[in-house]
Amino acid sequence: MKHQLSRRDMLKGTAAGAVGLVAGLAPAAVPAQDVITLRFQQNEARFTPVFENFNEIMPGTDVEFLNITGIDHEEVASKILNMLAAGQPLDAGYAATEATVLYAGQGVAASLTERVLDAQDELADYYADMAPICPETMLWEGNIYQLPDSCNAPNMFFNMNLLEQAGLDTPPADWTKDDFHEYAVATTGLGGEETFGYAWVNRLWGSWGPWYFVNGSNFLTEDRSPGGEWFWETFYPDNDDVAHRGGGFRWPAPSANDPATVEALEYVTSLTNEGIAPGIEMGGGASLVGLFVSDKIAMTPMGGFGAGYLVNNGMEKGQFDAQLWPHWKSQRHQLGVGGNWIFTGSPNADRMWDFLKFSIQVDQLLSQAGRYRPLMTTTPVRRSMAIAEAYEPTGPANWSVFYETLDRPDTAPIPAPPEANAVTNIHTRFTGLALSGELTPQEAMDQAQAELETLFARTRA
Amino acid sequence: MASETLATRERRGSLLGWFRADTFEGVRRQRAILGYLFLLPAFIGLVAFVVGPMFVSFGLSFYRWNIFKPPDPIGIANFQRLLTDSRLPGIYGNTMLLVVGTVVITQVLAIALALGVTQLRSRKFAYFLRTAWFLPVLMSGAAVGVTLSYLFQREFGPINYYLGVLGIDRIPWMTSASTVMYTIIITAVWKNLGFIFVIYLGGVVSLPQEILDAADVDGAHGWRRLWTVTLPLISPIMLFATVINVIGAMQIFDEPQIMTRGGPGDGSRTAVMYMYEVAFKEQEFGYGSAIAVTLFIAILIVTGIQFALSRRWVFYG
């Protein structure tokens, strides 16, 4: 028998379905439980072993990982800020220098000062085991915001296959910009016209920044804020290297068209114009690593992370080496520091703090999957981990340069104020215009200076 | 009978009675209400996710708001800033170049390919071509951007390598402000051609055969038949295809964001990219909303012009 659905039956059915749907979506009664679930913006594979270890000593912690990706740090920071603004809270996250002051300045990251002071006995070994510049980069206006776990300064990496072809060896630590230029000229064109002496990526860290640093300049003027005595007196009471340190770095004004900054840009632009360096690309530098590995590039800026990256991408131990950045007017290095921070509104801040303190112990850092073992894919913030044994599978021969760079008293962070995302945009945009020949370096930096002044006038009014 | 009539009257007096009334008007009312009920979910979605955010965005354009502090009303300051923003003319110039370039090339190629494929005798070959041209549509813009940025790389990319084999100098596809927009146009055309092609293909295969036969009998062949019969017949489809093509081109984001991030300088930055950067990267939601308002007005004007001009060349008969 054929049954025809009447309109009335249809409406009844729809209403019944709607009631069922609402009933189904209604939250079920949640049984009382002691498990705290932490929302953590971190690499799940990397941090799962650490959480498993943490649960053994402090049961009842679950974790929901939020793996946020981006082309570069400022894109990740943007996603996190917008996620928080959209009402999706975090308990903690990971930030590099590009976002440390940005989060602190926006009030998104909670000050850890009280917690650090309360736990000073537990943290004494941790801070004693690191170069003072690493925690100093985590200070802002006298308060501390992160527990660092990695610290990378751009060093010069050498493709030893190309250097050998040119009859060159790794230069000494006191090599100069002129030495660098000779190396770059000697290695350009060795494997055909697609081989370049030097290459870099247009971004904030490790771009042409190392050149304006060694030329005695910066993209923004650099200053140290007052405060921070509590930190230095507590954790570095007998260290002579902390007398000049303060409550964190601040960048009061733009200095993009400082003559030394312009001179640095003129130099890197000349490298491209002379065919020593290829066209500059944007982003994190994945293709740059590929070109370096395939013997197309002789020298490039990379941090200690380069050791693991290059081997993971097919290079063998001995095929690359590293050295300090060459001396120009100075040999001042820039750096970036990474670590975990706690969200201001985290309802689980106490538990998260317990986890963060736990996670920076040497054995727990080593248990992060694929970070420090089997290959070093970053420079560990803890000096005791940056040892010959750790670099045994990868090299480079001059592995100690990575931590030595952090120990240099004049090493300082990349210019990353609370307006870091806008600064990065201006930095990369005008760098691109100079490199493509649309503007002269002087014109590019003059216009960058004007935009930075407008930006600071607007944001700091 | 008298009591039934009374019950019916009582029912009509109540709301339920009004709804259940088995009169001609009652049935019509029931159908209308049923229609509105079916429209309701889509309407709620439209209000919540399209119209509502549009009004909120328009409202935000009168505030300074960095999402972490309460919005600060600043009147028309964001719109005054638009007028003095030296980057905006170049960025809108890029966007318009992208629209003209991608729409003209895509439309011409899509029509040509649709007409060509329908003339093929081998059905298998026709299926192969249809699939091949449509495949890029299925790829994500990010994947297309990453892949093509390797192909277009100046020193190491295969495109410049093969041009070199032909004796042509390396072209700075992505590193020169004078060429980068053409690279983005080529990429956008390659990515979106298949979609417009499928729209035209649907139109071409459904052309009334009797009209085409009549044109043949009247001696209209080749170009003449194309200009005087085929194109007028598919002109409503052309209007639809150009409108969605223009709107899509004005909103292109993925490819330039991945390939060049808007560089060098602002050489390949589009209006949507600028809005995204200002609002979501620099947390200036008020100014970002003001840019969004200008983009909305620009799309509205361009689409309005398209519809106004369509009266001259679109034939619905």
User: Residue B9: CB partners within 8 Å, gap ≥ 6?
Assistant: none
- Structure tokens given for B276: 């995204």
pLDDT attached to residue A354: 96
Token pair in block for residue B8: 């019916």
Domain boundaries, chain A: 36-152+336-389, 155-332+417-459
Q: Any chain B CB within 8 A of the CB of A433?
A: yes
Q: What is the DSSP letter of A220?
A: B
| Cβ–Cβ contact A36 with B under 8 A | no
CA distance A301 to A158: 9
Q: Which residues contact A76 (CB under 8 A, 6 or more apart)?
A: A68, A69, A70, A99
CB contact (8 A) between residue B177 and residue A7: no
Gyration radius from chain A CA atoms: 25
Task: Tell me the pTM.
Answer: 0.86
Q: Which residues of A touch B265 (CB under 8 A)?
A: 429-430, 432-433, 436, 438-439
Which residues of chain B lie closer than 8 angstroms to A196, CB-CB?
155
Pairing of strands A201-202, A36-41: unpaired
- Note the pLDDT tens digit of each residue in A150-182: 999 999 999 999 999 999 999 999 999 999 999
The answer to whether A421 faces chain B, any CB pair under 8 Å, is: yes
Please tell me the predicted confidence (pLDDT) of residue B4: 54
Flag whether pLDDT at A219 surpasses 70: yes
- Is residue A137 over pLDDT 70? yes
Residues from chain A contacting residue B273 (CB–CB below 8 Å): none
Whether A260 contacts chain B with CB within 8 A: no
Confidence of residue A88 (pLDDT cuts 50, 70, 90): confident
Closest to B67 (Cβ–Cβ): which among A71, A85, A280? A85
**Helix (H), strand (E) at residue A39:** strand A36-41
SS3 content of chain A, % helix, strand, coil (to 5): 45, 15, 40
H-type helices in A279-436, by residue range? Answer: 286-293, 305-312, 349-359, 362-367, 388-391, 401-407, 420-435
pLDDT for position A32: 45
**CB-CB contact of B139 with B132 (8 Å):** no
CB contact at 8 A, A248 and A112: no
Triad B231, B234, B236: Cα angle to 5°:
120
| Same-fold call for A36-152+336-389 versus A155-332+417-459 | yes
* Chain A closest-CA separation from residue B163 CA (Å): 14
Joined together, the tokens standing for residue A423 give 């600064």
Query: Which of A358, A324, A307, A414 lies closest to A61, judged by CA?
Result: A358
Closest chain A C-alpha to B11 CA, distance in angstroms: 17
Shortest CB distance from A106 goes to which of B68, B260, B266?
A: B68
Residue in B150, B172, B283 nearest the CB of A279: B172
For A:9-28, CB contacts with B below 8 A are: 11, 14
What mean pLDDT, rounded, does chain A reach?
91
Q: Check CB contact of A429 with chain B, cutoff 8 Å.
A: yes
Select the residue from A73, A429, A453 to test the B interface by mutation, using most B Cβ atoms within 10 A. Answer: A429
Which backbone phi and psi does B121 adopt, to 5 degrees? -85, -35
- For A155-332+417-459, give the CATH class: alpha beta
Helix (H, G, I), strand (E, B) or coil at A412: strand
A75 contact B CB<8A: yes
> How far apart are alpha carbons A50 and A47 in whole angstroms?
5
Instruction: Tell me, rounded to whole angstroms, the distance of Cα B141 from its chain centroid.
Output: 14
In degrees, to the nearest 5, what angle opens at C-alpha B172 toward C-alphas B167 and B176? 150
**Is the CB of residue A382 less than 8 Å from the CB of residue A126?**
yes
Residues of B with CB under 8 A from a CB of A: 30, 34, 37, 66-68, 149-150, 153-156, 172, 174-177, 258, 260-267, 277, 280-283
Cis peptide before A171 (omega within 30 of 0): no
Q: Are A60 and A376 in contact (CB under 8 A)?
A: no
pLDDT of A14 strictly over 70:
no
Cα B269 to Cα B253: distance, rounded to the nearest angstrom = 9
> CB-based contact (8 Å) between A53 and chain B?
no
List chain B domain ranges: 2-60, 80-313
pLDDT at B1: 44
pLDDT digits (tens, 9 = 90+) for A254-299: 999 999 999 999 999 999 999 999 887 655 567 788 889 999 999 9
Least Cα distance to B41 among A14, A25, A7, A12 occurs for A14
Chain B residues lying within 8 Å of A296, measured CB to CB: 156
Q: How far apart are CA A304 and CA A152, in angstroms?
A: 6
Question: Chain A closest CA to B152's CA: distance in Å?
Answer: 12
Between CA B303 and CA A281 the distance in angstroms is: 36
For position A6, what pLDDT does the model report?
57
User: Does residue A335 contact residue A411 with C-beta atoms inside 8 Å?
Assistant: yes
Confidence of residue A113 (pLDDT cuts 50, 70, 90): very high
Q: Which of residues 121-180 of A touch B (CB under 8 A)?
A: none
Judged by CB atoms closer than 8 Å, whether chains meet at B176 and A436 is answered as: yes
CB within 8 Å: A432 and B263: yes
Let me know if A311 is exposed, middle or buried by CB neighbors in 10 A (0-12, 13-18, 19+).
buried
B172 three-class SS: coil
| Model confidence pLDDT, tens digit, residues A393-418 | 999 999 999 999 999 999 999 999 99
CATH superfamily for B80-313 is: MetI-like (1.10.3720.10)
Comparing CA positions, the residue from B127, B133, B146, B98 lying closest to residue B249 is: B98
Q: How many angstroms away from the CA of B245 is the closest CA of chain A?
A: 28
Cβ contacts of B30 within 8 Å, gap of 6 or more? A7, B19
| Nearest chain A CA: its distance from B264 CA (Å) | 5
Kindly list the residues from chain B whose CB atom is less than 8 angstroms away from the CB atom of residue A74.
Answer: 281
- pLDDT the model gives residue A235: 97
| Predicted confidence pLDDT, tens digits, chain B (317 residues) | 445 555 565 555 677 777 776 788 888 888 899 999 999 999 999 999 999 999 999 999 999 998 878 899 999 999 999 999 999 999 999 999 999 999 999 999 999 999 999 989 899 999 999 999 999 999 998 899 989 988 998 888 899 999 999 999 999 999 898 999 999 999 999 999 999 999 999 999 999 989 988 988 988 888 888 999 999 999 999 999 999 999 999 999 999 999 998 989 999 999 999 999 999 888 899 999 999 999 999 999 999 999 999 998 898 86
Question: A341 Cβ partners below 8 Å, 6+ apart?
Answer: A92, A93, A94, A95, A100, A103, A109, A110, A112, A145, A146
What's the pLDDT at A282? 53
Q: For chain A, what's the residue count?
A: 461
Tell me: the pLDDT tens digits for A34-80? 789 999 999 999 999 999 999 999 899 999 999 888 878 888 888 89
Does residue A69 belong to the interface with chain B, where contact is any CB pair within 8 Å?
Answer: no
Q: Given the structure tokens 């240099």, which residue do they identify?
A: A408
Question: ipTM value of the model?
Answer: 0.81
Helix then strand then coil, % of chain B, to nearest 5: 75, 0, 25
Mean pLDDT, range A91-114, rounded to an integer: 93
pLDDT at A25: 46
Reading the block at residue A409, the tokens are 């008293």
Structure tokens at B269: 């930055």
Q: How far apart are the first and last CA of chain A?
A: 80
CA distances from A369 to A83, A89, A337, A357 (A): 26, 26, 19, 18
> Which is higher by pLDDT, B25 or A440?
A440
Q: Which CATH class is domain A36-152+336-389?
A: alpha beta
